[in-house]
Every structure is written in structure tokens, then in C-alpha cells.
């Protein structure tokens, strides 16, 4: 499909890329320092692995920001909806179970907001494809 990417989707990619860069760097390079600040035990190496994954996801957003056509970013948007929806669910689960400190609500809100934003564009462009 030769539909041009909207300014809104481009801005969403850019915002996600910036947010993901900072979150990914923190989780990859200084998880225990950050964890101490927010009262969250992040000493497990898994937090560094998540940081690396978040950086990769941020890079895909920044690269997608420069794309011009929906067909070039469709699979990226689909993957982001899946990743962010699942991450938001897992974070919420941890919050409700008491396994994640209250600071986790910020992570939940950010993940849910991006899941909704990318989901919105997925629905909009899917409708355009159908017509």
C-alpha cells in the first residue's frame, strides 16, 4: 500500500524512540542505581536484557520515523502494539500482586499509552487498506 505516513504517526515514532532510548540506557547501564532511587530491586541481569530490548525497540521507532510509506512500517507498528500491550499487562499484574513498587505505575502508563497510540494508527491504516 502506497499510503503516506501521517505526521501523527511520525511524532509517535519519534516520542517512542526518545523515551525508549532513555529507558533502555538506564536499564542497560545503571539498573541498580536507578532501582535504588525508586525503591525497586533491579540487581537481576534480566533488567539489563530488558534494557537492551528496549533500546532495540527504540531504534526501530527512530528508523521508522524516517520512513515515508505505511507498507514500510506496518510490521513495526504491529510488533509495537503486541510488545507494549503485553508489557503493560505484565507490569499491571506485578503492581496488583505487589511485586513491583509504586513507581511501576509510570512504566505501566507509558507502555499502555504507546500501545493505545500505535494501536490507533494500526486501526486507521488497516481501514485505509480495506477501502
In tens digits, the chain (131 residues) has pLDDT values of 689 999 999 999 999 999 999 999 999 999 999 999 999 999 999 999 999 999 999 999 999 999 999 999 999 999 999 999 999 999 999 999 999 999 999 999 999 999 999 999 999 999 888 77
The C-alpha angle 107, 88, 31, rounded to 5 degrees, equals 40
80, 118 contact by CB (below 8 A): yes
CA distances from 98 to 39, 62, 84, 95, 125 (A): 13, 34, 21, 5, 38
Instruction: Output the pLDDT for position 1.
Output: 61
Instruction: Output the pLDDT for position 72.
Output: 96
Instruction: Output the pLDDT for position 25.
Output: 98
Instruction: Output the pLDDT for position 131.
Output: 74
For the record, the C-alpha cell of 121 comes out as 494508527
Instruction: Output the pLDDT for position 107.
Output: 96
pTM of the model: 0.94
Amino acid at each position: 500500500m502506497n499510503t503516506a505516513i501521517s505526521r501523527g504517526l511520525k511524532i509517535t515514532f519519534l516520542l517512542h524512540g526518545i523515551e525508549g532510548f532513555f529507558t533502555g540506557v538506564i536499564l542497560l547501564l545503571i539498573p541498580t542505581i536507578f532501582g535504588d532511587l525508586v525503591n525497586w530491586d533491579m540487581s537481576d541481569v534480566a533488567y539489563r536484557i530488558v534494557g537492551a530490548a528496549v533500546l532495540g525497540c527504540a531504534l526501530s521507532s527512530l528508523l521508522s520515523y524516517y520512513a515515508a510509506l505505511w507498507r514500510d512500517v506496518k510490521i513495526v507498528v504491529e510488533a509495537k502494539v503486541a510488545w507494549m500491550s503485553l508489557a503493560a499487562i505484565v507490569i499491571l499484574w506485578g503492581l496488583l500482586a505487589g511485586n513491583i513498587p509504586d513507581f511501576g505505575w509510570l512504566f505501566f502508563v507509558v507502555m499502555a499509552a504507546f500501545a493505545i497510540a500505535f494501536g490507533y494508527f494500526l486501526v486507521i491504516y488497516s481501514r485505509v487498506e480495506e477501502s
